[in-house]
């Protein structure tokens, strides 16, 4: 009976620590090239083998709040730093152009699994330490929102002073359509507002600077499918 109890405990222990998420520090991840894949709907960060594109390890995360969204798109690691306090000891900076974004630890571990940050990706401190030492400068980072923007937690009407990937794509599209001549930086400033108003006037739409579904439909960009 004692042997049976020991076996049951061993099976339970192995099951607990063989789940899809990683919580214990892994020293075997170094000396490889990776892609970081972040799924904002699943609230997970995955390390993919860059050569085989296979999953190596997966971690739970927190992402930006709806009003301060994480930067959906394809980026790269452009900085690495040791940062204490709310960053949990480690920082991996991204090259998104409209704000300072990074992957880091947290002083609030209960926020993991939620929309809680100002746009950065939060991880448990033991997990960010593992990822920090596993990846190199220029590592690709994919922040994925699903097959359609409609299904992301960041679907919204875009207003002046908003920042984000949605603003970035609107700027790029209106620039292609010769309505916008400013910088494509993901920031809804006055030059973009003038471009939106001009486009709406020429297409018999309302006279507000709000970018909604009908506007995105009109420029062929609804939810960036």
Whether the Cβ atoms of residue 167 and residue 186 lie closer than 8 Å to each other: yes
From CA 191, how far away is CA 180, in angstroms rounded? 7
φ/ψ (deg, to 5) at 154: -105, 10
Find the Cα–Cα–Cα–Cα dihedral 162, 185, 174, 182, rounded to 10°: 110
Q: What amino acid positions are annotated as catalytic residues? A: 104, 120
Task: Calculate the alpha carbon distances from 196 to 55, 64, 68, 221 in Å.
Answer: 42, 26, 22, 14
Whether the Cβ atoms of residue 102 and residue 88 lie closer than 8 Å to each other: no
């Amino acid at each position: 009976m004692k042997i049976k109890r020991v076996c049951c405990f061993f099976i339970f222990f192995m099951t607990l620590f063989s789940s899809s998420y990683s919580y214990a520090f892994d020293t075997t991840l170094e000396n490889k090239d990776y892609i970081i894949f972040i799924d904002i709907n699943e609230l997970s960060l995955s390390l993919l083998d860059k050569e085989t594109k296979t999953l190596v390890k997966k971690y739970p995360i927190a992402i930006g709040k709806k009003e301060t969204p994480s930067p959906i798109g394809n980026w790269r690691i452009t900085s690495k730093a040791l940062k204490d306090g709310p960053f949990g000891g480690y920082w991996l900076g991204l090259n998104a152009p409209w704000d300072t974004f990074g992957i880091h630890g947290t002083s609030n571990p209960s926020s993991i699994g939620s929309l809680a940050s100002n746009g950065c990706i939060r991880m448990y401190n033991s997990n960010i330490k593992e990822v920090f030492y596993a990846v190199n400068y220029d590592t690709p980072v994919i922040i994925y929102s699903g097959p359609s923007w409609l299904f992301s937690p960041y679907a919204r009407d875009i207003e002046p002073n908003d920042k984000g990937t949605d603003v970035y794509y609107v700027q790029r599209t209106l620039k292609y359509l010769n309505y916008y001549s400013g910088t494509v930086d993901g920031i809804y400033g006055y030059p973009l507002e003038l471009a939106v108003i001009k486009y709406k006037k020429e297409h018999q739409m309302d006279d507000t600077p709000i970018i909604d579904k009908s506007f995105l439909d009109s420029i062929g960009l609804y939810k960036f499918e």
